[in-house]
Structure 1
Amino acid sequence: MRERLLVLMIIMLATAFFGEMKVNPLGGSFRFSLGIAAFSFGLLWFSSVPVITTGFLTGTFILGFRVGMDMLMGYGPWLESVYDHLPSAFYYFSFAILFRVLRARNYVEFPLKMGLIGASVDFASNLVELQVREFLNGFPPLTWQGFFMLLFFGVLRSFFAVGLYNSVSIRQIRAVGEVRQQELERLRMINTELYEEAFYLRKSMTQLEDITRESYRLYRRLLTSQHAESPTALTIAEHVHEVKKDSQRILAGISKLINQEGLAPQMPVGELCELVMRANQKYAEMLGKEIEFAWSCQVSLATNQIYALLSVLNNLVANAVEAIDGSGKIELNVRLEGRQIVFQVLDTGPGISQDEREWVFEPGYTTKYDAQGNASTGIGLTHARGIVQSLQGQLHILRDLGEWTHFEVRIPTHQLLRGEGG
Structure 2
Amino acid sequence: MISKIKITAKTKLCLRNTILFSILISVSAQIYIYPFSSRFVLGLGVVAIGFVLAITERSYPLVIGIISGILTTLIRSFGLAWASYSYSLEVVIQFAPAAIFYFAYGMLGTIFPLYKQNKSILRLYFSLLGFDVICNLIEISVRSMISLDAIKIIVFTAIIRAFVQCMIFLIYNYQKLYIKKSEHQKRYAELNLMVSKIYAEAFYLQKSTNDLNNVMKEAYNLYEMTKGEAQVSTKALSIAQNAHEIRKNNDRVLKGINALVENVEKTEYMSVSEIFSIISDNTKRQIESINPNIFIEFKLEKDIYIRRYYDVFAILNNLIINAIEACDDKSTISVIGEISEKELALIVCDNGTGIEEDVLPYIFNIGFSTKFNQDTGAMSTGIGLCHVKNLIDDLGGSIEVKSQVSMGTKFIVKIPIVKL
Aligned pair partner of 2:67 in 57, 61, 66: 61
SS in 1 for 2:366: coil
Give yes or no for the alignment of 1:37 onto 2:41: no
Q: Give the conservation status (yes or no) of the 8 Å contact 1:59–1:88.
A: no
Partner of 1:251: 254
- Residue 270 of structure 1 and its aligned partner are, at CA, apart by 1.4
Partner of 1:23: 33
Q: Give the conservation status (yes or no) of the 8 Å contact 2:29–2:72.
A: no
- Residue 292 of structure 1 and its aligned partner are, at CA, apart by 3.0
Partner of 2:322: 319
- Residue 390 of structure 1 and its aligned partner are, at CA, apart by 0.8
Name the CA distance, whole Å, in 1 between partners of 2:159 and 2:374: 67
**What root-mean-square deviation, in Å, do the aligned CA atoms of Structure 1 and Structure 2 show?**
3.3
Aligned pair partner of 1:345 in 344, 348, 371: 348
Most deviating of 14-23 and 87-96: 87-96
SS in 2 for 1:358: helix
- Residue 90 of structure 1 and its aligned partner are, at CA, apart by 4.4
Q: Which runs of 5+ in 1 are unaligned?
A: 417-422
Identity %: 24
Give yes or no for the alignment of 1:385 onto 2:389: yes
CA offsets per residue over residues 183-242 of structure 1, 9 Å max, x none? Answer: 22222222222122111110111122223333434444555x484775665454333322
Partner of 1:208: 212
Partner of 2:183: 179
Name the CA distance, whole Å, in 1 between partners of 2:382 and 2:269: 30
Name the CA distance, whole Å, in 1 between partners of 2:283 and 2:325: 10
Name the CA distance, whole Å, in 2 between partners of 1:66 and 1:383: 69
Most deviating of 160-169 and 311-320: 160-169
**TM-score (norm. length: structure 1):** 0.82
SS in 2 for 1:332: strand
Name the CA distance, whole Å, in 1 between partners of 2:177 and 2:296: 29
Give yes or no for the alignment of 1:287 onto 2:293: no
Letter in 1 for 2:278: L
Partner of 2:6: none
Name the CA distance, whole Å, in 1 between partners of 2:350 and 2:232: 57
Q: How does 1:232-311 map to 2 (within 5 A)?
A: 233-311=236-314
Letter in 1 for 2:56: F
CA offsets per residue over residues 125-152 of structure 1, 9 Å max, x none? Answer: 3223223332xxxx3x4243x4443234
Name the CA distance, whole Å, in 2 between partners of 1:58 and 1:398: 70
Partner of 2:5: none
Name the CA distance, whole Å, in 2 between partners of 1:368 and 1:219: 40
- Residue 243 of structure 1 and its aligned partner are, at CA, apart by 1.9
Aligned pair partner of 1:356 in 359, 371, 378: 359
Closer/same/farther in 2, CA of residues 366 and 289 from structure 1, 3 Å limit? farther
Partner of 1:192: 196
Partner of 1:142: 147
SS in 2 for 1:397: strand
CA offsets per residue over residues 76-126 of structure 1, 9 Å max, x none? Answer: 447x956x5564344335445656777643453555663454234313332
Closer/same/farther in 2, CA of residues 233 and 346 from structure 1, 3 Å limit? closer
Name the CA distance, whole Å, in 1 between partners of 2:374 and 2:167: 56
**TM-score (norm. length: structure 2):** 0.82
Letter in 2 for 1:36: V
Most deviating of 192-201 and 166-175: 166-175
- Residue 27 of structure 1 and its aligned partner are, at CA, apart by 4.5
Aligned pair partner of 2:141 in 106, 131, 141: 131
Name the CA distance, whole Å, in 2 between partners of 1:129 and 1:3: 31
Letter in 2 for 1:405: T
SS in 2 for 1:327: coil
Name the CA distance, whole Å, in 1 between partners of 2:74 and 2:127: 33
Q: Give the conservation status (yes or no) of the 8 Å contact 2:343–2:416.
A: yes
Partner of 2:131: 121
Closer/same/farther in 2, CA of residues 346 and 239 from structure 1, 3 Å limit? closer
Name the CA distance, whole Å, in 1 between partners of 2:368 and 2:226: 40
Moved over 6 A (4+): 100-103
Closer/same/farther in 2, CA of residues 24 and 191 from structure 1, 3 Å limit? same
Name the CA distance, whole Å, in 2 between partners of 1:333 and 1:117: 56
Name the CA distance, whole Å, in 2 between partners of 1:337 and 1:403: 29
Name the CA distance, whole Å, in 2 between partners of 1:120 and 1:183: 43
Q: Which runs of 5+ in 2 are unaligned?
A: 1-10
Name the CA distance, whole Å, in 2 between partners of 1:200 and 1:392: 16
- Residue 247 of structure 1 and its aligned partner are, at CA, apart by 1.0
Name the CA distance, whole Å, in 1 between partners of 2:372 and 2:309: 30
Number of residue pairs aligned between Structure 1 and Structure 2 = 402
Q: Give the conservation status (yes or no) of the 8 Å contact 2:347–2:412.
A: yes
Name the CA distance, whole Å, in 1 between partners of 2:57 and 2:303: 44
Letter in 1 for 2:303: S
Name the CA distance, whole Å, in 1 between partners of 2:134 and 2:115: 18
Name the CA distance, whole Å, in 2 between partners of 1:215 and 1:356: 33
Q: Give the conservation status (yes or no) of the 8 Å contact 2:303–2:339.
A: no
Q: Give the conservation status (yes or no) of the 8 Å contact 2:53–2:114.
A: no
Q: Give the conservation status (yes or no) of the 8 Å contact 1:23–1:31.
A: yes
SS in 2 for 1:346: strand
Q: Give the conservation status (yes or no) of the 8 Å contact 2:72–2:99.
A: no
- Residue 376 of structure 1 and its aligned partner are, at CA, apart by 2.8
Most deviating of 346-355 and 204-213: 346-355
Name the CA distance, whole Å, in 1 between partners of 2:290 and 2:67: 57
Most deviating of 191-200 and 374-383: 374-383
SS in 1 for 2:412: strand
- Residue 4 of structure 1 and its aligned partner are, at CA, apart by 1.7
Letter in 2 for 1:190: M
